């Protein structure tokens, strides 16, 4: 079980949690990008890559017996801040569809590039599975 950490008097964040406390077995997922299991990009569209990267996170979590509700921390590496902000509604829809739970301590960082040239987003996750 995880607990959202929300200091009294702070405005409620939209789309993430300020902090999360959890106890259990930790699962660490490397940065997932928007390619498929065969390491092929089906699309250069930003939102399509977000959806695929999130689906890849879910697939790796499943190997540890973890589910999206166990995610405690998520870091997004983005190559284009403007596209992320302009398409935030679509990103949110993809996130709700694949992950569903916003009780996650999240950080987004804009980077000059990712290792894979076609990648537009990379998402790293920590999950805690109750024992």
- With respect to residue 52, please indicate whether it lies within any of the assigned structural domains: yes
**Residues 6+ positions from 62 with CB-CB distance below 8 Å:** none
- With respect to residue 87, please indicate whether it lies within any of the assigned structural domains: yes
Task: Return the CATH number at 76.
Answer: 3.30.1330.40
Question: pLDDT tens across 100-131, in order?
Answer: 988 999 999 999 999 999 999 999 999 999 98
Please give the residue range of the domain that contains residue 66: 25-129
Question: pLDDT tens across 35-63, in order?
Answer: 999 999 999 999 999 999 999 999 999 99
Helices 46-63 and 88-98 sit at what angle, rounded to 10 degrees? 20
Three-state secondary structure call for residue 34: coil
- With respect to residue 17, please indicate whether it lies within any of the assigned structural domains: no
């Amino acid at each position: 079980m995880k607990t959202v950490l929300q200091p009294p008097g702070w405005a409620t964040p939209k789309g993430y949690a300020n902090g999360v406390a959890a106890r259990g077995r930790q699962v660490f997922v490397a940065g997932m990008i928007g390619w498929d299991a065969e390491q092929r990009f089906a699309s250069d569209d930003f939102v399509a890559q977000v959806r695929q990267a999130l689906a890849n996170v879910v697939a790796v979590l499943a190997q540890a017996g973890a589910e999206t509700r166990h995610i405690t921390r998520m870091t997004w590496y983005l190559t284009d801040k403007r596209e992320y902000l302009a398409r935030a509604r679509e990103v949110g829809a993809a996130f709700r569809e694949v992950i569903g739970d916003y009780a996650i301590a999240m950080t987004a960082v804009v980077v000059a590039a990712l290792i894979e040239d076609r990648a537009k987003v990379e998402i790293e996750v920590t999950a805690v599975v109750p024992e």
